């Protein structure tokens, strides 16, 4: 049972659209959004509430959750830190179609999209995105602000650092450890540990070194 019935969003574009629908699937009432600019398309007819760092922000979001719904890991991290600094109520948004083991732990302000599976004893940090249809197997550890894109598969005991992006349909072999700030390309297959930040692509994945 959620403590509040209402929620505001930080950000209102593609990624937020999915998060808003997940919130509604959890019977939360979406009151509006904060962003730098008003979204002209406004597909969900939401109220524009201004920017999140004005002096009235805390007052405006009283008695509601606030969810940082920005795809870029570094911006989502900033917004999550703003929520902590202002002692604002956070929530984990999990689509009802996701399978979450009772022994899994999921941090605040993380979004779990439709048809995800998170298995036994997996631990997921704060402000992560576990995107549509991805699989997080037993005992995986995913650190804060990491995005697991649609269809990616993390086999058992995989450890992924902070601020990583694991591309759509990537596969990470069991037991692999990935450092902070790593990007894995769409469809790539990781068979060895990645110990430094950078971009890895292909099968088996190799570091992408820009010319
Ligand atoms: C709901 C959502 O939409 S969530 C978002 C889901 N999106 C994704 O998963 C996309 C993930 N992004 C990628 O795969 C990107 O291609 C990245 C981040 C790996 C690389 O992007 P860039 O740095 O712009 O690389 P760029 O496109 O210049 O390609 C550089 C080289 O890497 C190769 N390459 C790029 N991506 C991949 C990949 N996924 N697998 C294999 N090779 C790749 C390119 O073919 C190119 O090779 P070349 O130099 O021999 O021609």
Residue with tokens 């993390």: 154
Decide whether any atom of ligand 1 lies within 6 Å of the 189 Cβ: no
Instruction: Quick: pLDDT tens for 70-118.
Output: 999 999 999 999 999 999 999 999 999 999 999 999 999 999 999 999 9
Q: Where in the chain is the domain with CATH 2.160.10.10?
A: 94-201
Q: Is the pLDDT of residue 211 over 80?
A: no
SS3 67: strand
Q: Is domain 94-201 classified as CATH 3.30.310.10?
A: no
Instruction: State the Cα–Cα distance between residues 176 and 158, nearest whole angstrom.
Output: 5
In ligand 1, the atom with minimum distance to the C-alpha of 71 is 4
Instruction: State the Cα–Cα distance between residues 8 and 131, nearest whole angstrom.
Output: 20
The contacts of residue 133 (CB under 8 Å, 6+ apart) are 113, 114, 115, 116, 150, 151
Q: Is domain 6-91 classified as CATH 3.40.50.20?
A: yes
Evaluate whether 65 touches 8 at the Cβ level (below 8 Å).
Answer: yes
Tell me the torsion sign for CA atoms 67, 69, 70, 71.
positive
What pTM does this model have?
0.97
| Residue to mutate, 15, 114, 201, ligand 1, most ligand atoms under 8 Å from C-beta | 201
The reply to whether omega before 204 is within 30° of 0 (cis) is yes
Q: Is 167 known to sit in a ligand binding site?
A: no
Q: Is 13 known to sit in a ligand binding site?
A: yes
Q: Where in the chain is the domain with CATH 3.40.50.20?
A: 6-91
Tell me the torsion sign for CA atoms 101, 148, 75, 64.
negative
State the complex-level ipTM: 0.98
Instruction: Quick: pLDDT tens for 145-200.
Output: 999 999 999 999 999 999 999 999 999 999 999 999 999 999 999 999 999 999 99
Residue with tokens 């997921």: 124
Instruction: Give the Å distance between the CA of 205 and the centre of ligand 1.
Output: 12
- Residues with catalytic annotation? 138
Instruction: Write out the DSSP string of 110-126.
Output: -EE-TT-EE-TT-EE-T
Decide whether any atom of ligand 1 lies within 6 Å of the 156 Cβ: no
């Amino acid at each position: 049972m959620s403590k509040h019935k209402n929620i505001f969003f930080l950000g209102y574009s593609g990624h937020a659209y999915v998060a808003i629908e997940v919130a509604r699937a959890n019977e939360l009432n979406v009151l509006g959004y904060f962003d730098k600019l008003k979204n002209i398309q406004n597909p969900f007819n939401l109220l524009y509430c201004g920017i999140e760092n004005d002096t009235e922000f805390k007052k405006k979001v009283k008695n509601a959750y606030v969810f940082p719904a920005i795809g870029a890991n570094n911006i989502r991290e900033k917004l999550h830190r703003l929520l902590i600094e202002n002692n604002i109520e956070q929530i984990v948004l999990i689509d009802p179609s996701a399978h979450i083991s009772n022994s899994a732990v999921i941090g605040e302000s993380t979004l779990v999209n439709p048809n995800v599976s998170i298995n036994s004893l997996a631990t997921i940090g704060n402000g992560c995105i576990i995107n549509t249809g991805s699989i997080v197997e037993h005992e995986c550890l995913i650190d804060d602000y990491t995005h697991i894109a649609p269809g990616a598969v993390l086999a058992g005991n995989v450890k992924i650092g902070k601020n990583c992006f694991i591309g759509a349909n990537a596969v990470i072999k069991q037991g692999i450890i990935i450092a902070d700030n790593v990007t894995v390309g769409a469809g790539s297959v990781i068979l060895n540990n990645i110990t430094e930040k950078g971009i890895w692509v292909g099968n088996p994945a190799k570091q992408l070194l820009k010319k």
